[in-house]
């Protein structure tokens, strides 16, 4: 697993410490950083099509457990499978389905869930500004 995360505080606004609990960066296999909003499974709204990272929290350390996308037809609360996450980190800046899928694949490769060679031949990574 090569996925790395950093709090917003370390990479951006050091003078606004409360933001480190609300935002987190996850780095994809491409080296691109993607900013994510941090929610608990109980407070995460339905965000159809958005990219998520399911996270286990151990003090200040956060470990990515799963990368995926919310169903485009998501209504109501999150699936019950999300209850085993301590946090759900959601990337909201990929507005088009192709861009969201590129972010998901980049993070999934970094997590070790997908093979980079298979992904490149099936769907080339696109740069998405974070």
Would you kindly state where each structural domain of the chain is located, as residue ranges?
4-122
18-29: per-residue pLDDT in tens? 666 788 999 999
Judged against a pLDDT cut of 90, whether residue 121 lies above it is answered with no
pLDDT of residue 8: 58
pLDDT of residue 72: 78
The overall pTM is greater than 0.85 = no
CA neighbor of 36 nearest in space, from 23, 27, 17, 21:
23
34-78: per-residue pLDDT in tens? 999 999 998 888 888 999 999 999 887 899 999 999 887 766 666
């Amino acid at each position: 697993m090569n996925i790395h995360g950093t709090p917003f505080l370390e990479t951006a606004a050091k003078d606004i410490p409360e933001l480190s609990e609300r935002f987190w960066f996850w780095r994809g296999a491409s080296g691109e950083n993607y900013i994510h909003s941090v929610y608990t499974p109980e407070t995460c709204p339905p965000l159809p099509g958005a990219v998520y990272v399911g996270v286990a929290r151990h003090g200040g350390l956060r470990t990515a457990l799963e990368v995926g996308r919310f169903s485009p037809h998501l209504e109501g609360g999150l699936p019950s499978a999300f209850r085993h996450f301590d946090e759900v980190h959601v990337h909201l800046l990929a507005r088009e389905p192709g861009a969201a899928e590129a972010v998901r694949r980049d993070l999934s490769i970094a997590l070790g869930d997908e093979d980079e060679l298979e992904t490149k031949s099936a769907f080339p990574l696109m740069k998405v500004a974070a």
